[in-house]
């Protein structure tokens, strides 16, 4: 039967070793520890190795001669071999003791050629094999007493050389050993008060350190990697600009308009000239002809225009002109003797007050009976008295051509810059509908307005306001809609979702429509709380093994607060659980890399 030889690196921890055992395809696995393998000097780790081998129906053999590792293997009945060619055996504590008794005695040469057996060195070696701690010397009053008696016996032997050794031995056996008064543990305490106090403080400190290390300090961070599947989402939705009509559960979302305004100003020089003097006024005498028998009527309305050599005047008020007929006494031409009187009709005169349409002295004219014109059906127009009152006062004013020229300097707003500034002011809680972006510039406003006088120290300018706007929708409501409509099973949930976006945004008679699209990662339902409850009180290796048994969990990482922590605390406040996801592509890539490394 083939076997798998796994060489353990010094930096490998227990989780790495367990993973290598689980990933091995052979039924017999030989673990070769390095020279300095701290992970193999913990009985908990040796138990975990044995447990993983049994759970995976594999035989795990340790290849080592390290007595401390062999002793731990014997405690859990884990097979051990000295090398890859030797047959593995399960060591026992008795065999370990026999190996310990085979220590060679060391002979020390004395000055007279005699040798003594260093029994103390053999005992110390045996104690070291049994795990005794000789880091601190311990004073033994009884041992000191026996050493003194031995010296006294040696002195007596030198004083009586003729006495046989056997007799001396018998004599030494017959004489009982006397314990000096005031000796023993109590006497030692009295004679070593400072040392005893120091040892007491050390014991208390050691207890506090153990409590901190085993109860307070242990904490574990557990990272669970979930295998997920990437899916696409596409659904037709509608939009409304009326909040009360929103129904997000049915795919009808409220459009909220966001906008910014940018004002541009261009200064210019006014070139217009305007006469702001007084307007001239006077009185015109007009006449109208009517049928001498039937009569007639006409009206000169306020504002009706009269012209003289290009100068325009307007009637100040309404003047009616009428003739009732059969009363030629009111006719201006009743006394005229001409045979065609009846044909010419009745001539009626009226006075009309007029005012120049523009100020200026040029509108002041002398009396004249010719040169006047009007669109009215009048027989005649004459000026009997001069038109006066017109004065000149020339001022600089804004004219329309000045405004049009300044308007050419406007850039109508930088669309790209305005869009960037608008989008930066929208939080990530909203989805921006790109197709709804719009930019418009208002009509130009001139200050002063066209035709107005430029005041002293005033520079005329035009202003135009550019408005950039876009519609946004609530991202939370959109994601809830997607989750409700997503293609997932009852035992699955959505772990991650790309930011949704809208395509084919179109205005309709009832509002707007569009296509909602995104992609999301779906995987098994595994919660932080479930992982925490599973992990409490379990060994690090056990929780890793148990979590990997759950479908959809591809790997488990555990980080302990300190190297000696081998168990997950029961206190949930000392357990941190983080669930991370891997999509199919990243998972396949990760597995390939892992196989290459192995």
Q: Please count the other Cβ atoms lying within 10 Å of the Cβ belonging to residue 152.
A: 11
Highest-scoring range by mean pLDDT, 12-26, 249-263, 479-493, 571-585: 249-263
C-alpha–C-alpha distance, residues 246 and 272, integer Å: 56
C-alpha–C-alpha distance, residues 297 and 290, integer Å: 8
Are 246 and 240 a contacting pair, CB within 8 Å?
yes
- Whether 270 shows a pLDDT value over 50: the answer reads yes
* H-helix or E-strand spanning residue 434: strand 430-441
Which pTM value belongs to this model? 0.43
CA distances from 284 to 106, 313, 371, 380 (A): 157, 10, 12, 10
Could you tell me how far CA 15 lies from the centroid of its own chain? Answer: 33
Are 572 and 244 a contacting pair, CB within 8 Å?
no
Backbone angles phi, psi at 486, to 5 degrees: -70, 155
Q: What length does the chain have?
A: 598
**CATH number assigned to the domain covering 3-101:** 3.30.750
C-alpha–C-alpha distance, residues 231 and 583, integer Å: 10
According to DSSP, residue 578 is labeled: E
Are 506 and 514 a contacting pair, CB within 8 Å?
yes
HEC per residue, 274-319: EECCCCCEEEEEEEEEEECCCEEEEEECCCCEEEECCEEEEECCCE
C-alpha–C-alpha distance, residues 356 and 316, integer Å: 10
Q: At 588, is the pLDDT very low, low, confident or very high (cuts 50, 70, 90)? A: very low
Question: What does the pLDDT read at residue 116?
Answer: 37
Are 60 and 29 a contacting pair, CB within 8 Å?
yes
- Whether 49 shows a pLDDT value over 70: the answer reads yes
- CA atoms in the 13 A half-sphere facing the CB of 538: 16
* H-helix or E-strand spanning residue 185: helix 185-191
Q: Give me 62's structure tokens.
A: 């340790």
HEC per residue, 366-411: CCECCCEECCCCCCEEEECCCEECCCCCEEEECCHHHHHHHHCCCC
C-alpha–C-alpha distance, residues 518 and 487, integer Å: 13
Q: What is the mean pLDDT of residues 520-546?
A: 81
pLDDT in tens, 426-482: 999 999 999 999 988 888 888 888 888 888 888 999 898 889 999 999 999 999 999
C-alpha–C-alpha distance, residues 208 and 216, integer Å: 10
The C-alpha angle with vertex 393 and arms to 389 and 399, in degrees rounded to 5, equals 120
Range in 158-162, 202-206, 209-213, 561-565 with the lowest mean pLDDT: 158-162
Using alpha carbons, select from 222, 221, 229 the residue that is nearest to residue 496. 229
Q: At 157, is the pLDDT very low, low, confident or very high (cuts 50, 70, 90)? A: very low
Question: What does the pLDDT read at residue 146?
Answer: 41
Question: What does the pLDDT read at residue 321?
Answer: 92
Q: What is the mean pLDDT of residues 113-117?
A: 36
Are 326 and 307 a contacting pair, CB within 8 Å?
no
Q: What is the mean pLDDT of residues 230-258?
A: 93
* Higher pLDDT pick, 144 / 268: 268
Question: What does the pLDDT read at residue 334?
Answer: 74
Question: What does the pLDDT read at residue 332?
Answer: 81
Range in 426-430, 485-489, 509-513, 585-589 with the lowest mean pLDDT: 585-589
pLDDT in tens, 496-505: 899 999 999 9
Q: Give long-range contacts, CB 8 A cutoff, 24+ apart: 238-245.
A: 238/510, 238/511, 238/512, 238/513, 238/514, 239/471, 239/473, 239/505, 239/511, 239/512, 239/513, 239/514, 240/511, 240/512, 241/511, 245/511
Q: What's the Rg (C-alpha) of the chain?
A: 58
Q: At 95, is the pLDDT very low, low, confident or very high (cuts 50, 70, 90)? A: low
- Tell me the pLDDT of the chain averaged across its residues: 78
pLDDT in tens, 54-86: 998 889 999 998 888 888 888 888 899 988 888
Query: Where exactly are the structural domains of the chain?
Result: 3-101, 140-184, 219-272+396-598, 277-392
HEC per residue, 442-511: CCCEEECCCCCECCCCCCCEEEEEEEEEEEEEEHHHHHHHHHHHCCCCCCEEEEEECCCEEEEEEEECCE
Q: What is the mean pLDDT of residues 211-232?
A: 77
Q: What is the mean pLDDT of residues 11-24?
A: 88
Peptide bond into 448 cis (omega under 30): yes
Range in 109-113, 151-155, 175-179, 261-265 with the lowest mean pLDDT: 109-113
C-alpha–C-alpha distance, residues 584 and 590, integer Å: 10
- Whether 160 shows a pLDDT value over 70: the answer reads no
Are 234 and 248 a contacting pair, CB within 8 Å?
no
């Amino acid at each position: 039967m083939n076997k798998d030889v796994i060489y353990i690196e010094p930096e490998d921890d227990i989780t790495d070793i367990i993973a290598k055992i689980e990933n091995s395809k052979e039924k017999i696995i030989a673990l070769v520890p390095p020279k300095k393998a701290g992970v193999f000097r913990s009985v908990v780790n040796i138990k975990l190795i044995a447990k993983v081998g049994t759970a995976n129906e594999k035989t795990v053999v340790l290849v080592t001669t390290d007595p401390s590792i062999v002793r731990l293997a014997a405690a859990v009945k884990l097979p051990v071999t000295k090398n890859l060619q030797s047959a593995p055996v399960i060591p026992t504590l008795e065999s370990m003791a026999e190996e310990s008794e085979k220590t060679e005695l060391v002979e020390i040469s004395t000055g007279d050629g005699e040798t003594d057996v260093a029994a103390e060195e053999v005992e110390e070696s045996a104690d070291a094999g049994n795990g005794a701690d000789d880091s601190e010397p311990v004073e033994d009053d009884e041992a000191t007493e026996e050493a003194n008696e031995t010296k006294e016996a040696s002195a007596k032997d030198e004083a009586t050389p003729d006495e046989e050794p056997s007799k001396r031995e018998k004599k030494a056996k017959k004489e009982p050993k006397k314990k000096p008064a005031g000796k023993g543990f109590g006497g030692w305490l009295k004679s070593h008060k400072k040392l005893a106090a120091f040892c007491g403080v050390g014991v208390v400190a050691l207890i506090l350190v153990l409590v901190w290390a085993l109860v307070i300090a242990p904490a574990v961070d557990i990272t669970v990697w979930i295998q997920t599947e990437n899916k696409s989402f596409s659904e037709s939705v509608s939009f409304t600009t009326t909040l009360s009509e929103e129904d997000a559960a049915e795919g009808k979302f409220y459009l909220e308009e966001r906008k910014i305004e940018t004002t541009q100003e261009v200064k210019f020089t006014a070139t217009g000239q305007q006469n702001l003097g007084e307007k001239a006024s006077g009185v015109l005498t007009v006449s109208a002809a009517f049928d001498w028998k039937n009569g007639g009527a006409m009206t000169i309305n306020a504002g009706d225009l009269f012209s003289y050599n290009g100068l325009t005047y307007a009637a100040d008020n309404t003047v009616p002109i009428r003739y009732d007929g059969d009363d030629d006494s009111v006719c201006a031409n009743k006394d005229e003797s001409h045979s065609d009187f009846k044909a010419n009709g009745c001539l009626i005169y009226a006075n009309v007050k007029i005012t120049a349409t523009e100020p200026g002295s040029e509108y002041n004219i002398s009396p004249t009976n010719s040169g006047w014109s009007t669109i009215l059906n009048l027989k005649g127009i004459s000026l009997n008295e001069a038109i006066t009152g017109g004065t000149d006062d020339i001022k600089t004013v804004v004219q329309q051509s000045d405004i049009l020229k300044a308007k050419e300097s406007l850039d109508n707003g930088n669309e790209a810059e305005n869009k960037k500034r608008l989008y930066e002011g929208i939080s990530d809680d909203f989805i921006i509908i790109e197709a709804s972006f719009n930019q418009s510039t208002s009509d130009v406003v001139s200050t002063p307005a066209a035709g107005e006088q430029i005041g002293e120290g005033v520079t005329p300018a035009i202003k135009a306001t550019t408005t950039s706007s876009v519609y946004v929708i609530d991202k939370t409501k959109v994601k809830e809609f997607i989750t409700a409509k997503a293609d997932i099973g009852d035992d699955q949930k959505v772990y991650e979702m790309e930011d949704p976006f809208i395509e084919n945004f179109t205005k309709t008679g009832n509002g707007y429509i569009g296509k909602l699209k995104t992609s999301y990662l779906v995987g098994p339902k595994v919660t932080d709380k479930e992982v925490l409850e599973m992990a409490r009180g379990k060994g690090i290796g056990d929780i890793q093994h148990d979590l990997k048994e759950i479908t959809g969990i591809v790997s488990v990482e555990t980080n302990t607060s300190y190297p000696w922590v081998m168990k997950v605390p029961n206190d949930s406040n000392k357990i941190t659980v983080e669930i991370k996801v891997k999509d199919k592509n990243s998972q396949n890539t990760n597995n390939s890399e892992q196989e290459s490394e192995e």
